[in-house]
Chain A
Amino acid sequence: MTTQMFGAPIRRKEDPRLVTGGGRYLDDLGHDALAAAFVRSPHAHARIVDIDASDAIDVEGVVGIYVHEDLPRSVGEPMPLLIPHPTLTHGRTGYALAKDQVNHVGEAVVMVVATDRYVAEDACQRIRVSYEQLPVVVGIETARDGDLLVHDDVPGNVAAHMLQEVGDVDAAMAAAPHTLTLDLDIERSACMPMEGKGVYARWDTERGELRMYSSTQTSTGVRAAVAARLELPLAKVECIAPDVGGGFGVKIMHPWPEEVLVPWAARLLGRPVKWAEDRREHFISSAHERGQLQRVTVAFDDEGHLLALDVKFWHDNGAYTPYGIIVPIITSTQLLGPYKPGTYRCEFWSLYTNTVLVTPYRGAGRPQGCFAMERTMDAIADELGLDRAEVRSRNFILPTEMPWDHGLLFQDGRPLKYDSGDFPASLAKLKELVGWDDFADYRRAAEAEGRKVGLGIGCYVEGTGVGPYEGGHIQIETSGRVNVSTGLTSQGQGHETVFAQIVAQELGVRMEDVHVTTGDTRKMAYAVGTFASRAAVMSGSAIALGARKVREKALRIAADALEVSPDDLEIVEGTVRVKGAPATSMSLGTVSVLSNPLRYAFDEAAKAATQFAGTFDPDKPPVAEGEEPGLEGKGFYSPTQATFANGMHAAIVETDPVTAEIKILRYCVIHDCGTMINPMIVEGQVHGGVAQGVGGALYERMAYDESGQLLNASYMDFLMPYASEVPTIEADHLETPSPLNPLGIKGAGEAGCIPVTAVIASAIEDAEGFPITRMPISPYELWELRRRHADGEIPSLHRLSRTSSKEPSA
């Protein structure tokens, strides 16, 4: 039998190349290209009065300097609003080059094209732009006040106002024995891929064709966006994603201004042009996420069962809304996690500020929602004197209740309907892993040594694998080599490996014979992209379906040649053979030869495939009726809804009694993404996600000052955790297969980061004995909170005043 490939922790095929410097990233390409650089707004909100480039035009090596007025109609129009929504009543987008107003620091105003990036930056430095400064809107409170406006024609700075309600919240609230209100605050962070954005465009003047390389999560998206802007037929545009050094969401939204301008300049100049984003540009002109203020009012009974959940939140969407309101919609729906809310109402306002725009960042609104829900769960437990895990457990949706329809619309406009999951089993595993029931003893021992420790928990559900579709193409060459192509892109996830595992399993071929290509519009023009934890679910399923077609075809052709029934055949290690009589066999390469009758004999394989080879039946055409030449097949997968993965995390933290430094002593994860294709890769995803989550919980923030300047726009001051800050992650899995797709899989890409902020807040609160409502938190902020707590400004948790707590961890 063929070795089991699906489900095995196989080492990643791409790693030897990537870890030995063999990767080819955008800036490794196009050394002959001209370089673009941009003059960007130094002001958060200003009118452009004048642009004087006279000192720059003579810099040796400058090829062109462009402002908004130089752009033709389609290039100069406002950028597209990619995802409209009925509640997005005041959607606004910027221009490729600012027209007469800038709305955040970093907005592109002038493009310089020069022989290299050094010269281009020299010229940028000599361009003088004069501005008339306008009042600046920074921070959600300021935006919400609405006294100052980002866009004159957007009253109250409200881009969107959305409300969803299930059941009669007000009635349930009025009748409930207990209610609590929490005001919560979560700050901005950002994707920060190691490689920034970038585009390299070559224009073929004779053929009128554009080839682009883009550091993107969606090459089909870039292709369509640029073709539309440059008014080119789609057939004349191709886009290739080379190796991409991370995405995390920021490379799903296209077009960025530079991606319109650089291909436009390449066509205008008839020369290749490249732009590779630098780190400062990434900070001030890409995208951020996470910033929200939240108010949760919850009603519950004496046992801690939810009766009503009423959530209002204010979402900072930055200066523009090209990606619509996907992030707050996800917050408002995924906030519910594994729980039944009784009745639920969620109302949000998406607000403009004079800051970098907001688009999805790994987790995409879920970390904020999870924070709101899990802080609420801890508050209920404290109010009632119940164990925090027990309160969660009492509100779980049970396996017997699946599929569970919340009665809400999810981000894809389809019902929020959970397909699978076993939350009680996950929680039991987590409690066992972290030693939940023994923590009280641990805490007592620590306290005896003068140490402060706390235990935190957080649960989430993540809608993964959203549509609309992905495709997979599989082709077997006469050598037996299997070429697999899917249109979505790779940013290091291990697609070359997991897709090969699926094909190896489905076809019965060896891993080393399978070669996967992603993100090349020449090979697969129909694709959506890599985001929303969807690659394995979508492309994995499509590839499996395509492989099954190829398998059927191979068996059909081989059965004909071997004069047996297809049902009597199996494929083992690339050989089609008769079950029980393996000597009667032919390789898939030979089947490929048979599938493609040729007129000419180019080589040995082709010689065997000429129309004059083999048995000759004058009554049959060389290609059988209903067949196509070639041993290949294509599959597309388009689900009716997302599939819902879930996870539960727990952490033990220690806080220094004097300096308030925060250390994560243990971090435990139970993760359920259905059937795993490769557990090692899933675990890698979880580890990376937790690391990013730790950044969001303890280190990362966007420090805007009142004038809209980003004070920490470098890796010196924007604190992503190093390996030294990331705890050892103890992970275990539960596999509840999804009934929705052929492989039973659910997405895993974003999972790790979703609950971390909630978990760490829970643990710090448990260690400190007073509520933590604002994240991320640094030692000095915790120290300030202790001072305010000591001064009576912040109340203690109830558990401290209970003589006989029911919570084992108390």
Chain B
Amino acid sequence: MLFFQSLISGILTGGIYALAAMGMSLVFGVMNISNFAHGDLMMLGMYMAYYLFTLLNIDPFLSLVLIMPAAFVFGYAIEKTMINRVIGHPSENQILLTVGLGLIMGNTALLAFTSDPKILTTSYSSSSFNLPGDISVSIPMLLSFLVTCLLTAVLYLFLSTTRTGMALRATSQNREAAQLMGIDVSRMSAIAFGIGTLLAASAGALIAQTYYIDPFAGHTFLLKSFTICVLGGLGSVIGAGVGGIVIGVVEAMSAAYLSSEWKDVVVFVLFLAILLLRPRGLFGRKGEQ
């Protein structure tokens, strides 16, 4: 029973990881930038959900409708004003720029919201139901997972059927060739970063009921998202989706059968093993290592 319980909760948590990691992977694919501010963007999503609920009484799942466009505009603006200036620069400069942006967001949040952790409690926050065999399933986690599936499906359709989506994929495959075909690659970068921010903030809003909300709450997800992206192949959105579920399950299993203190170590060891043995990940294409 422990096995199935861990499997179910691993899959549910993994769904959220997947959502956060897909945004990061899209940004990496289109712009070739590792976004170290991704965790802080998630944190902003958590606070938005918190304040929309406490001040305006909007349910966290409904508030996604407001959070997503706001996050998209925010990401688009950051890309246009700052990040586009380091595209094609050495990766260290890109990393440090996003680290700097993350420090600004996290510490601004610290000034604005203080370091006291906040808890978002709705009427159904701690409710759960039991599957046969005494496996309990948390309702907010299940809802989050379903929303994640919906968002993933929309993202997939967007990338595979719309003109902008195809242009994004073309830019991701080969920036120069895409530019030669008349695609406005700098606009694609801004759109990719906007969508990346949207996905990060959505993931943040979805977990706002399950985790403590504090200015640095996104940091644990940052490293996890990187692990997932590398597992799935940096730049592969589908890979990030599958990778998220895998990491969620691995974590839940190591917490159940090893110990909860060592589960993060297991994830990082796995991460290094993938980097060394199969650097392009499960679904990645051949290329930079």
A binds B: no
Binding site for A on B (CB under 8 A): none
Binding site for B on A (CB under 8 A): none
